[in-house]
Amino acid sequence: MTPEPKSKKLFEALVRKATLKQDVYKNTLATLNLLKKAMSEMTELYYQIDSADAKEIPFIYKDKSEFEAELKFAGDTLVFMMHTNVFEFPRDHEVIKTPYVQEDKDRSYCGIINIFNFLSDSFKYNRLNDLGYLIGRIFVNKDNHYFIEGKRELGFLYTNFGQSEINEKKVFEILESSVYYTLNFDLLTPPYDQIKEVSVAEFKTAMDSMQIKTGKRLGFKFQADLQ
């Protein structure tokens, strides 16, 4: 049975879009694997430091799953988590306006690796109410080009999207920047008015479940954090 002309075009479009997304997915997963390799190498470099103080401070890499890895150091934990879906940017996003994407709209389809910062004690003591922070997002496209949306050391210009191809050196730099930012992202005392009242139930269970929230910027969302 020969496909009807309209069906043939539909199937061709389906295959083309699916192939594009598969290419983006593979590049994003390869980037996460490069990050895992960089974390392993950084851990080895850390333990080469000839310092008694350094030996007292943990620097631990864990490969949590195919799509997740974490790096624990100096009271903080960085979690790198890849989303398994591929995304397109809204039409009014700055990336869409770049000459690089204007030349080929398919370049705007990206995979995402989210970078979260948590206090290590939040996991250690199972403090389920504690807050983590999204400090950056790595976007990777079909050409293996990338840009970063993030804070301070992690910030990256959209206009560099067309020139920035992911590789081992770039990934190591991203990891170093993430650690630098985390070290300078200090734990602040929560506002007094936010914790001046506590129920008897919350107080009695605080030592077990830590229902009194702890976070580096307690009370401020990621978008409002100007650090």
- Report domain extents, the chain: 5-186
174-224 tens-digit pLDDT: 999 999 989 887 765 656 665 566 665 665 665 454 454 555 554 333 333
Q: How much is the pLDDT for 46?
A: 94
pLDDT, one tens digit for every residue, the chain (227 residues): 666 778 889 999 999 999 999 999 999 999 999 999 999 999 999 999 988 888 889 999 999 999 999 999 989 999 999 999 999 999 998 899 999 999 999 999 999 999 999 999 888 888 777 778 898 999 999 999 999 988 666 666 566 899 999 999 999 999 999 999 898 877 656 566 655 666 656 656 654 544 545 555 543 333 334 34
pTM passes above 0.85: no
By the 8 A CB rule, do 116 and 81 touch?
yes
Q: How much is the pLDDT for 132?
A: 85
Q: Which residue has the tokens 């100096």?
A: 74
**Cβ neighbours of 219 (radius 10 Å):** 13
By the 8 A CB rule, do 138 and 31 touch?
yes
Residue type, 206: A
Cα separation, 111 vs 137, in Å, equals 10
Q: What 8-state DSSP symbol labels residue 213?
A: -
Q: How much is the pLDDT for 128?
A: 79
Cα separation, 32 vs 115, in Å, equals 11
Ramachandran sector of residue 112 (left: φ over 0; alpha: ψ -120 to 50; beta: rest): beta
Question: What would you report as the CA-atom Rg of the chain, rounded to the nearest whole angstrom?
Answer: 21
Helix (H) or strand (E) holding 173: helix 168-184
Q: How much is the pLDDT for 5?
A: 75
Residue 85 contacts by C-beta under 8 Å, 6 or more apart in sequence? none
Distances (CA, A) of 42 to 46, 171, 205, 219, 225: 6, 12, 39, 33, 28
Cα separation, 113 vs 137, in Å, equals 6
Q: How much is the pLDDT for 82?
A: 97
Residue 110, helix vs strand vs coil: strand
Both tokens assigned to 81? 């988590």
Residue 46 contacts by C-beta under 8 Å, 6 or more apart in sequence? 54, 59, 73
Residue 70, helix vs strand vs coil: strand
Both tokens assigned to 60? 């631990």
